[in-house]
Structure 1
Amino acid sequence: MDLFSEEKTLLKLPNAEILYIENFYDSSTADHYFKILKETITWQQDDITIFGKTYKQPRLTALYANNEKPYSYSNITMTPHRFTTELLEIKSNIEAEINNQFTTVLLNLYRDGNDSNGWHADNEKELGENPIIASMSFGQTRPFHFKHRTLKEQRHKIDLNHGSLLVMRGEMQHHWLHQIAKTKKTIGERINLTFRTIQ
């Protein structure tokens, strides 16, 4: 089986462009990366404060980069580790596919259906005006929900499969919110890598 699949979907939406490649990596390659990332990444669980109450973030995270620039979101500031060999391989493959360079990757480990990521946009100022975010998924398929901030009829869902790549471009982070919702279903682990460029 080819490492890369030609199955590509390009969605042109109001104020956004989304590229989805369902089989960016074949199953065996995706299995390989899932196992290595699960075992070698320095995972952490930060506290997050919402409306004055502090909770454990409902997933594990990690930040890796080719520099020492921190990344802040939701009153959490993360300091990066240096890219591992496997992260550099994945980064290089994505960069070759979409012709864009990245400095940093934020990783999320969703351990089960209770782990989630609420409605948000990747609109932190250090990402620049119209950031390109490349989201690589390994493990359990989870639905990616996204909705327009003002056009209420613009609500969509994409199932992010094992080995799939989702790229968000254009003005999307200004006009859209996205989430990985909780589920009561019994499901397995998912590792998500979101590549970005810290200005």
Structure 2
Amino acid sequence: MMLDIAESPLYDIEQEFREQHPGCPIKVILGDVKNKKKMKEVFKESKPQVVFHAAAYKHVPMMEKYPEEAIHANVIGTKILADLSVLAQVEKFVFVSTDKAVNPTNVMGATKRAAEMYVQALNEYLEVNHKKIPYPIYYNQIWKCVGFKWLSNSAVQKANHEWGTHFRDPSGDYPIFYDHT
């Protein structure tokens, strides 16, 4: 299943996925992670095992102009997905973040850092209370474009080599997607 708020990139990646993986079933949903009601419906219907969360505003100058939008998308959207992942007892919650969240100097970086901190705090709280937790995995975005793309093993190895990035599920159990927005 793929969900995105941007219909054109969602359509494009659906077509590309269907072309590259003709026998693999896929469900595409147009939606906004800030819409808690819709996200509850999506989780109820799809019962995800793994959630890859990369929905965020990432344009630094634009987020300086519209900080409230960065907060809604980057912090509130992450909180909604993380909370629903806990309630749905997903196996893994993969959160795509950015290097700008390390010692942030702008609104975009600060909101991504706040989102990281929320996911970490939620994870710690659940560990202390002995509850089943989604395992948060963080990846830095490497490319800039629109939507999700599938990374082949050679692309992962090239990214790891060229940028020193560890861009894979540590268990190796899940396919790797990257956010190239």
TM over 0.5: no
In proportion to residue count, which structure has more strand? 1
Larger RCO (CA within 8 A; separation ≥ 6): 1
In proportion to residue count, which structure has more helix? 2
**Taking structure 1 as the reference length, what is the TM-score of the superposition?**
0.26
